[in-house]
Structure 1
Amino acid sequence: MRKTKIVCTLGPACDDSDTLRQMIAAGMDVARFNFSHGTHEEQKARYDRFVAVREEMGVPVAAMLDTKGPEIRLGTFKNGKAELVRGARFVLYADPCEGDEHGASASYAELYRDVAPGGTILLDDGLIELSIESIEGTDIVCRVVNGGKISNRKGVNIPNARFSMPYLSPKDVADIDFAVDNGFDLIAASFVRTAEDVLLIRQQLERRGSDIEIISKIENEEGVQNIDEILAVSDGIMVARGDMGVEIHFERLPAIQKMMIKKAVAQGKAVITATQMLESMIHNPRPTRAETSDVANAVYDGTGAIMLSGETAAGQYPVEAVRTMNSIALTVEGDINYSGRLRSRTGATVPNVTNAISFATCQTADELHAAAIITVSKSGRTARMISKFRPGVPILCCTCDERVRRRLNLTWGVHPVVIPEVDSTDGLFDLSVQAAIAEHMASDGDMVVLTAGVPLGVSGTSNLLRVEVIGNLLLSGTGVTGRTVSGSVVVCRNEDEVLRLCSEGDVIVAPYTTNKMLPALKKAAGLIVEQGGMDSHAATVAMALDIPAVINATNATQMLKSGMPVTIDAARGTVCAAKK
């Protein structure tokens, strides 16, 4: 099960139900809707199509609305494009006009107030550079430093500038209302500079009675400098390397990315690494080696999610891009020593009950080689606190709220499911264990670590940890060979019974073993022997024949009955009742 989540941007390339089905099957966990483009009518049609496919497939893929934010763009050009020549004069106008090689309008009419002669203006993700020579009224007169072709509505970036424009535009407010009205799970807030920007969105949501979670996109120097205060009021962050890479020197980006991921993980907040991860797959069916390493390094850094933009929104290979992202993440996760990383977190937690229980849960699961961590959470907070320790064991979060389930689909390592509400801890844990079995995360004989809060249903009260073996534990002893096997028991009390009663695939139960029994032992699926000691005949035979065995199984011949189906877990030295 992949731990790092995949965010996919929806657009014209996947505006059909079949492609969406294939993207979800390939590993899409969150669908991103970019409201910098398209009308509400277009996005509504796209969203309704996505929801219909999601419901049809019965999956909790979350929907994230990405706001336009206080971005600045050029207006339109005659014939849709122009070419700027190095050394030429180019003017940015406050009033709307049709642009050409001599000038164009900017979407922010007050831009002339926030820039000064000697400053730099970058167009089209930094491909074109302008130097500001003078401010003449509302016109910004520039000289082209690096020329190139430019087209309609390309982005405008001014490094290190602080703009006086309000953070929330009327369009952003309308888009936030759209998210509330249509049941979006997440809002990605563009160009967040300070905590106040996030709180403005939070206030707008509260006015609508909504608790949609906010992912703050860090895209400029001011946002990087204020990362701690932004994280404190956000539900997560996005390392938005597009505009960030334009406004901040590119050689600083890797260190900034690692810093932001580390801070978000430490606080149990979502973190998405985005932009140009598999950019070449917009046109090619395979990624470049550099892109593969970029995705891999983000996973090694511990990012919670990796994002595809143009690759799935407008590319020729949207499904292949998701499959590629999934494959890289799975391969890298298989190379990470999660146990070592967990041990290094000792002493690095804030001292409170939830943190202590969450860390102890991860440690216990790691040391006992548990099949899964099962958490019961009303709000999803417990699952996030466990996730921040990045355990190697899969995390199953059982919640009663479908909205919480979808939001948790962005959380690293968490597989969320919905269960009915019950009013007892034992009943809740029973349902959770059943869910783990149904989701193929555990089976009879597996050990699981459960955590929840008491009293039930109260958010933020995680204070309970329990270790259970799934199924009916019949007996335990010392495991040999470390494998798991199921079969039907044949109880034998001596050599003659072993040779006479045992057939191919039986689980032989005996007080001891001898060389005379070898013909029957070679046919056995497993051994349960009362005799103990790793130097015993039974242990030696089990290792020589590679048969899962439990030795030192006191009173096994009295406790077990012939014909009984059992599961031997030789890694844990347990014998459980198996389903017939």
Structure 2
Amino acid sequence: MNVARFNFSHGLHDEQKGRIDKLKEIRTRLNKPVAALLDTKGPEIRICEFADGKITLKEGQEFTLTADEIEGNEKIVSVTYKDLYKDVKPGNSILIDDGLIGLEVKKIKGHDIVCTVINGGVLGNKKGVNLPGVEDMISSLLPLPEQQPMSKRSAISSKKNGGHDIKIIAKIENQQGVDNIDSIIEAADGIMIARGDMGVEIPLEDVPVIQKDIISKVYSAGKQVITATQMLDSMIKNPRPTRAETTDVANAIYQGTSAIMLSGETAAGKYPIEALKTMVKIARRTEADVEYNQQFSVRIKGDTTNVTTAISHATCMTAIDLNAKAIIAVTRSGNTARMVSKYRPGCQIIACTPDERTWRQLNMIWGVAPILTKEEYSMEILLLHATEAAEENGYVKKGDVVVLTVGVPLGRSGNTNLLKATVVGEY
């Protein structure tokens, strides 16, 4: 795997810190640049607990959600968001437990939201509450453990939710996020399409169309897009996925997603290793069928008046013309590799960097294989050692054509301005 996700909706900070420390120990021991993705607790609403642990709701009955602290029963239960009664009105829909339980607001009485049960069923403790079409009024801020490479902010609804030095992946899971997707893409480093919650708050038939549209927009912006939730959901209980799930994973790749993510399959499933191996097999087989060079030829260049953009585009074009084995991007901040990745060349992108954080962050960028290298101050030695590192790591061999790109003067971020084609072993 490239990235380990830590879901802060489950587990306290101390618990998650222990898991993060374990990841650090393993990746150091294996010398693997596995990045940490912190999924922060967003504007989440949950019901509280019932006296008997669960109840059964029947269609048509009256059921109340209250801001008061009470012990739940078959008629009433507390909610974690104490101002919920201020944000809903009669006629609003309230969905609980990923939409399995459906309520319609009948009236507001003090701190109580009196509802009619539309879809009944068994309801257990601490289930999630969704409010389709109701603007979130809850702060999604949560302090993050220091020195982590990436963070995923839940339920991002506008670009105002961003603005951090660390890499921000905006998690789109409601109509507000979809409506503001253009400005969110502009502000964030990447986008996650959280299809599970999205499918609760948005009509199911719209989700595939929204997924396709978001992937296209993020792809065109040259940023990263993660397709997530229920990718191989049946593997939580079964050792093999359904054919529909296999096609779903492949379809996301054909659409241009940068990454595919497992959640419940590995976090709580019976077959976590099998699920991961299955995902990898599907991804490799599908990517072998994608004509990336053909897609590049019809891809809009974008603003090539910018030197970095122009050189990145030219690097990919040169690699295609020479049928190069790989592109070697020498970078400190990761920007050079990200810009090359934007154009999705058909060959491997090898990113050589002396910065450990960049080394890990680049592991989530499409098509990039990051290598940690030593700091160099001579251009000739830098490019020579980068080529040697690519060979030592098995990405290229003597006689292969490679295209190198870097920014000069060395050490200055965001100034990719040089490309060079060479043959491995003849540098």
Which residue in 2 is equivalent to 1:450?
404
Mapping 1:233-248, distance limit 5 Å:
233-248=187-202
What is the CA–CA distance in structure 1 between the aligned matches of 2:400 and 2:231, rounded to whole Å?
38
Q: State how far apart, in whole Å, the 2-side matches of 1:306 and 1:339 are.
A: 22
Structure number with bigger Rg: 1
Structure 1 residue 99: deviation in Å?
1.6
Is residue 337 from structure 1 mapped to residue 301 from structure 2 by the alignment?
A: no
Amino acid at match of 1:225: D
Letter in 1 for 2:182: D
**How far is 1:79 from its partner?**
2.3
Shift of 1:468: 0.2
Q: Are 2:156 and 1:192 equivalent residues in the alignment?
A: yes
1:392 aligned partner: 346
Match of residue 367 from structure 1: 321
Q: Secondary structure at the match of 1:32?
A: strand
Q: Which amino acid aligns with 2:218?
A: A
Q: Does 1:165 align with 2:138?
A: yes
What letter is aligned with 1:80? G
SS at match of 2:52: helix
> Take 2:384 and 2:281, find their aligned partners in 1: how far apart are those partners?
34
Tell me whether 1:466 sits opposite 2:417 in the alignment.
Answer: no
Aligned residue number for residue 274 of structure 1: 228
> How many Å separate the matches in 1 of 2:156 and 2:359?
26
Deviation at 1:131, TM superposition (A): 0.7
Q: State the alpha-carbon separation in 1 of the partners of residues 364 and 170 from structure 2.
A: 14
Whichever residue aligns with residue 398 of structure 1, its letter is: C
Q: Deviations over 1:350-407 (max 9, x none)?
A: 5411111111111111121101000011110111111111111000001110100000
Distance 1:98 1:123 in 2: 18
- Written as runs of structure 1 = structure 2, the 5 A alignment for 1:211-290 is 211-290=165-244
Q: Aligned partners of 1:60, 1:437: CA distance in 2, in Å?
A: 18
In the other structure, the counterpart of 1:66 is 39
Partners in 2 of 1:165 and 1:212 — Cα distance? Answer: 23
The Cα offsets for residues 232-275 of structure 1, whole Å up to 9 and x where unpaired, read as 22111100111111111111111111111122222222211100
Code of the aligned partner of 2:16: Q
Query: How much does 1:165 deviate?
Result: 2.6
Tell me if 1:410 matches 2:410: no
Structure 1 segment 531-570 matched on structure 2, within 5 A: none
Contact residue 390 and residue 396 of structure 2 kept, 8 A: yes
Question: RMSD across aligned C-alpha pairs, in angstroms?
Answer: 1.2
Q: Is the 8 A contact 2:43 2:136 kept in 1?
A: no
Alignment match, 2:114: 141
Give the TM-score, by structure 2 length: 0.98
- Give CA deviations for 1:460-504 in whole Å, capped at 9, x if unaligned: 10111110011138xxxxxxxxxxxxxxxxxxxxxxxxxxxxxxx
- Provide the C-alpha distance between the structure 1 equivalents of 2:53 and 2:344, rounded to a whole number of angstroms: 49
Distance in 2 separating the partners of 1:217 and 1:291: 22
Structure 2 CA distance for aligned equivalents of residues 333 and 254 of structure 1:
20
Match for residue 58 of structure 2 among 72, 85, 106? 85
- Which of 285, 291, 309 is the aligned partner of 2:245? 291
Indicate the residue corresponding to 1:101 in structure 2. Answer: 74
Equivalent residues in 2 for 1:514-529 (5 A)? none
**Secondary structure in 1 matching 2:394:** coil
How many Å separate the matches in 2 of 1:415 and 1:163? 39
Specify the alignment match of 1:33 in structure 2.
6
- What amino acid sits opposite 1:284 in the alignment? N
Tell me the distance in 2 between the aligned counterparts of 1:350 and 1:196: 29
What's the counterpart of residue 128 of structure 1?
A: 101
**Structure 1: gaps (5+ residues):** 1-27, 203-210, 474-580
Are the aligned partners of 2:42 and 2:139 in contact in 1 as well (CA < 8 Å)?
Answer: no
For the residues of structure 2 that align with 1:35 and 1:337, how far apart are their CA atoms?
Answer: 38
Please tell me whether the aligned partners of residues 235 and 270 of structure 2 are also in contact (alpha carbons under 8 angstroms).
yes
- Deviation of the 1:349 alpha carbon: 4.8
Per-residue CA distance 1:67-93 (angstroms, 9 max, x = gap): 111111111112221111100100000
Relative to 1, partners in 2 of residues 1:196 and 1:398: Cα closer, same or farther, differing over 3 Å? same
Amino acid at match of 1:87: G
Distance 1:52 1:423 in 2: 31
**Which amino acid is the alignment partner of residue 196 of structure 1?**
K
Q: Look up the SS of the partner of 1:392 in the other structure.
A: coil
Residue 442 of structure 1 aligns to a residue whose secondary structure is coil
Whether the 8 Å contact between 2:307 and 2:416 is mirrored in structure 1 is: yes
The 5-angstrom pairing of residues 422-433 of structure 1 reads 422-433=376-387
The answer to whether the Cα contact below 8 Å between 2:64 and 2:75 also exists between their aligned partners in 1 is yes
C-alpha contact 2:90 2:107 (8 A) present in aligned 1: yes
- Deviation, 1:425, is 1.4
2:400 corresponds to 1:436? no
Equivalent residues in 2 for 1:465-544, closer than 5 Å: 465-472=419-426
Structure 2 CA distance for aligned equivalents of residues 112 and 339 of structure 1? 55
Please state how far the C-alpha of 1:293 moved relative to its aligned partner.
0.7
SS of the residue 2:162 aligns to: helix
**Structure 2 CA distance, aligned partners of 1:336 and 1:278?**
22
Superimposed CA distance per residue, residues 6-47 of structure 1 (whole angstroms, 9 cap, x where no aligned partner): xxxxxxxxxxxxxxxxxxxxxx11000111111223222222
SS at match of 2:364: coil
Q: Distance in 2 between matches of 1:57 and 1:347?
A: 39
Residue in structure 2 matched with residue 310 of structure 1 by the alignment:
264
Shift of 1:212: 2.1
Secondary structure of the structure 2 residue equivalent to 1:79 = coil
Q: Look up the SS of the partner of 2:226 in the other structure.
A: strand
Looking at structure 2, the residues matched to 378 and 267 of structure 1 have their Cα atoms a distance apart, in angstroms, of: 22
What do the CA deviations read for 1:209-235 (whole angstroms, capped 9, x no partner)?
xx3211110111111111111122211
Residue from 5, 28, 33 that aligns with 1:55: 28
SS of equivalent to 2:240:
coil
Q: Deviations over 1:113-134 (max 9, x none)?
A: 1111011111111111101110
- SS at 1:231 equivalent: helix
Q: Return the letter of the residue paired with 2:91.
A: G
